[in-house]
Structure 1
Amino acid sequence: MTMPEATTQERDKGMKTRAADVPAHVGVIMDGNGRWAAARGLPRLEGHRRGVEALRATVRAALDFGLDYLTVYSFSVENWSRPIEEVTDLMGLLKRFIRHDLRDLHKAHVRVKIIGAREPLQPDIRALLDEAEDLTRDNDRLTLVVAFNYGSRQEIAGAARAIAHKVAEGLLQPEDINEHLFASYLDTAGIPDPDLIIRTSGEQRLSNFLMWQAAYAEFVFLPMHWPDFNQQAFAAALTEFATRERRFGGVSAAPKKSKFLGGFRP
Structure 2
Amino acid sequence: MKNLFAFLKKNKVMSNEINLDMSKIPKHIAIIMDGNGRWAKERNLPRAFGHKAGVEAIRKIVKECDRLGVKYLTLYAFSTENWNRPIKEVDSLMKLLVEYLKKEVEELNVNDVVVNSIGNISKLPLICREELNNAYEKTRNNKGLILNLALNYGGRSEIVDAVKEISSDLINKKISKDQINEELFSKYLYTSEMPDPDLIIRPSGELRLSNFLLWQGAYSELWFSDINWPDFHEKQLQSAIMDYQKRDRRFGKVK
Global fold match (TM > 0.5): yes
Q: CA deviation at 1:64?
A: 1.5
Whether the 8 Å contact between 1:24 and 1:69 is mirrored in structure 2 is: yes
Q: Aligned to 2:139, which of 118, 136, 139?
A: 136
1:116 aligned partner = 119
Secondary structure of the structure 1 residue equivalent to 2:197: coil
Q: How many residues align?
A: 242
2:48 aligned partner = 45
Matches within 5 A, 1:139-218: 139-218=142-221
Change (3 A) 1:69 1:16: farther
CA distance in 1, matches of 2:125, 2:46: 25
- 1:90-139 Cα offsets, whole Å, 9 max, x none, are 00100000000000000000011100102212222111111111111011
- 1:189-212 Cα offsets, whole Å, 9 max, x none, are 110100000000011111011010
Stretches of structure 1 that go unaligned for 5 or more consecutive residues are 1-6, 253-266
1:262 aligned partner = none
Secondary structure of the structure 1 residue equivalent to 2:75: strand
Given residue 161 of structure 2, which amino acid in structure 1 is its aligned partner? G
- 1:224-265 Cα offsets, whole Å, 9 max, x none, are 10000000111110111011000111122xxxxxxxxxxxxx
Aligned CA RMSD, in angstroms, stands at 1.7
Q: Aligned to 2:222, which of 219, 226, 229?
A: 219
Whether the 8 Å contact between 1:193 and 1:214 is mirrored in structure 2 is: yes
1:33 to 2:36 alignment: yes
Q: CA deviation at 1:16?
A: 8.4
Whether the 8 Å contact between 1:16 and 1:66 is mirrored in structure 2 is: no
With the length of structure 1 as denominator, give the TM-score of the two structures: 0.88
> Which contiguous aligned blocks of 4+ residues in structure 1 show a shift greater than 4 angstroms?
15-18
Higher helix fraction (1 or 2):
2
Q: CA deviation at 1:50?
A: 0.3
CA distance in 2, matches of 1:198, 1:184: 24
CA distance in 1, matches of 2:38, 2:243: 25
Secondary structure of the structure 1 residue equivalent to 2:196: coil
> Identity of paired residues, percent?
44
